Amino acid sequence: MSWGPNRLDIFALGTDNSMYHQYWDGSSWGPTATGWEPRGGTFNSPPAVVSWAANRLDTFALGTDNSMYHQYWDGSSWGPTPTGWEPRGGTFDAG
């Protein structure tokens, strides 16, 4: 996913089913060359990520209760909290 020139953001589920994030900023990988930033949560599905503006990412995934959860980057911080996820409701099939 990209929200701007020379920017790449990767999201993945770890073996603990928590979300992790890594990024390319045009000159190096972060948070470290081979490290991953924990984004929190426990999920049944891989993330879906969209960008609708510069410096904006919206990440969605199904929690262990099969409800949809959302986390966003607004250009300066992660929301709704640094590693928190807001429930979007519903019950879905992860398959």
For residue 36, being part of any structural domain is answered with yes
Percent residues over pLDDT 90 in the chain: 92
Determine the structural domain holding residue 32 and report its residue range. 8-89
**Domains in the chain: how many in total?**
1
For residue 63, being part of any structural domain is answered with yes
For residue 51, being part of any structural domain is answered with yes
For residue 40, being part of any structural domain is answered with yes
At residue 66 the predicted structure's pLDDT band, cuts being 50, 70 and 90, is very high
**Dihedral (Cα; 70, 73, 78, 79), 10-degree rounding:** -40
pLDDT of 20 higher than 90 = yes
For residue 47, being part of any structural domain is answered with yes
For residue 23, being part of any structural domain is answered with yes
pTM of the model: 0.91
